[in-house]
Structure 1
Amino acid sequence: MSDDTDSRSTDADTAPNVLVVDDEAGIRDLLRQYLVSHGFRVSTVGTAAGARAVLDREPVDLILLDIGLPGEDGLSLTRYLRERWQGAVIIVSGRGDPVERIIGLEVGADDYVAKPFDLRELLARVRSVLRRANRTPATVDVDANSNQRETLNFDGWLLDVHLRQLTAPDGKTVELTTGEFDLLLTLLESPNRVLSREHLMLRLHGREPGPFDRAIDVQISRLRQKIESDPTRPKLIKSVRSVGYVLTASVAKR
């Protein structure tokens, strides 16, 4: 298996840079050609080691990652990335089993697309994740010339929306993935209001949940691990049976 890296770009150097990590050359070529034709810069590799090499030498905005890589698999690479890298990850895998999907989200992927996939749907997912990663919410109004950044304060926690940084009551910074940040911000925008799973899925992933889709539940679980003193008995993010979730804390802007 070759670990050669292929990189193509559009004329715009500022276009989002996507890294495709897949051991099938045909898939790499297909995704490279399609994404380049829609304005993205694209690098492709066939192994986890190749992905690390690309990340060491150039900025990457989003990774399309296959699980079934030779050697180190995609789930292991996702865990590694979440400890050291803040970009977005979409798993694109032939393992369409719901358990695999849940595991992929649990280890930190922002979305999961099963093979065979529709290229237009994949493009929509890529754009949606990148848009969430770079969006400035309409609920936040900050003077661009001000030296002060607005933060959202809840139960002693501080979320700096522009830095996308969460600070715990003890002053420590808590790292959030793109999906975790977007979920927390969505909850903070509607405190003490029950948000359905359907609403959260449309807001965060741009699609309606399937009958056995647990993507939102998995993201809630991951977020609780980071902000609840006892995630098994959550006090900040409460479940509303058969409906969705509610943030119970008061939220103040600073």
Structure 2
Amino acid sequence: MGKLKQILVVDDDQDIRELLAQYFTKNSFDVITAEDGIEMDSQLSVHQPDLIILDIMLPGDDGFTLCQRIRQTSNVPIIMLTANSDEMDRVLGLEIGADDYIAKPFSPRELLARIKALLRRTQFANQDSVAEEANTKRRYYCFANWKLDTQQQVLLDKNKKVFPLTGADFQLLMLFINSDDKPISRDQICQSLHGRDAFANERGIDVHLSRLRNYLGDDAKSPNIIKTVRGKGYLFIAPTKSED
């Protein structure tokens, strides 16, 4: 049997931590928990979880702050828990680097399904990256003063400063780079990032696109990298070259 996937649950509600730990363990996951940012940092100093469940409402640093901190050094998949039905909480979570979100109250079964789907997409994205690298023997893609490292899943600017990408950001950027100068539809983006059960009109797609554009310094009104094509989707217009 292979090594179990490890999940870090960060929530100040002890009942939720114990419930999820028990449920995920029964479903063949290794589970570690933390009640706040301090304990989360302690766990991350000795563990490298495959996925993090991160509550927004926490004592001390909230989930948004912790998500931003994680994204400075890691592209580990993050699912945020929110007790607020307001769309802004969900949008903000996606904007700062979360890969998915689920509103409280939730069923552990639904959360487990989201975890498995996200891990599956992450695994497939990594496999596609490795397979593509093996076939093309290229590690880097250069465009618009950026260099994408497909092994490390990071961007380097012209000064060689490193910018880690989330799994979703990397997946979306690779989707554009491999588009062969053809527009990518919202349905294609939705399928790539969220799986078959997602809807192409969901706000999350706009958030992912906006975040990637902001990350690349690309103005949607006068784009140099990603252009909106009315009725067709989005076109990657930056000249791209690959390197070993």
User: TM-score by structure 1 length?
Assistant: 0.82
Per-residue CA distance 1:113-161 (angstroms, 9 max, x = gap): 1223343432232223223434221761517xx9x65333334533232
Aligned 8 A contact 1:15 1:39 in 2: yes
Instruction: State the AA in 1 paired with 2:51.
Output: L
Residue 219 of structure 2 is aligned to residue 227 of structure 1: no
Match of 1:208 in 2: 198
Aligned 8 A contact 1:228 1:234 in 2: no
Instruction: State the AA in 2 paired with 1:102.
Output: V
Mean Cα displacement is larger for which, 30-39 or 236-245? 236-245
Match of 2:226 in 1: 237
What are structure 2's unaligned runs of at least 5 residues? none
Match of 1:137 in 2: 128
TM-aligned CA distance change 1:228 to 1:37, over 3 Å: same
User: TM-score by structure 2 length?
Assistant: 0.85
CA distance in 1, matches of 2:67, 2:221: 25
What are structure 1's unaligned runs of at least 5 residues? 1-10
Greater helix content: 2
Instruction: State the AA in 1 paired with 2:142.
Output: N
How far apart are residue 101 of structure 1 and its match? 0.6
Aligned 8 A contact 1:228 1:236 in 2: no
CA distance in 2, matches of 1:67, 1:196: 32
Per-residue CA distance 1:78-127 (angstroms, 9 max, x = gap): 12222233322110222232111101111111111122334343223222
CA distance in 1, matches of 2:180, 2:200: 26
> What is the DSSP-based 3-state SS (H/G/I as helix, E as strand, rest coil) of the residue aligned with 2:128?
coil
Aligned 8 A contact 2:154 2:164 in 1: yes
Residue 170 of structure 2 is aligned to residue 181 of structure 1: yes
Residue 58 of structure 2 is aligned to residue 69 of structure 1: yes
Mean Cα displacement is larger for which, 177-186 or 31-40? 31-40
For the aligned residue pairs, the C-alpha RMSD in angstroms reads 2.6
CA distance in 1, matches of 2:203, 2:165: 20
Mean Cα displacement is larger for which, 121-130 or 59-68? 121-130
How far apart are residue 183 of structure 1 and its match? 1.0
Per-residue CA distance 1:145-188 (angstroms, 9 max, x = gap): x9x65333334533232222323344433321221111101111
TM-aligned CA distance change 1:153 to 1:124, over 3 Å: farther
> What is the DSSP-based 3-state SS (H/G/I as helix, E as strand, rest coil) of the residue aligned with 2:168?
helix
CA distance in 2, matches of 1:239, 1:118: 38
Instruction: State the AA in 2 paired with 1:64.
Output: I
CA distance in 2, matches of 1:246, 1:210: 17
CA distance in 2, matches of 1:235, 1:142: 29
Match of 1:127 in 2: 116
Q: 1:79 aligns with which of 36, 52, 68?
A: 68
Q: 1:101 aligns with which of 86, 90, 95?
A: 90
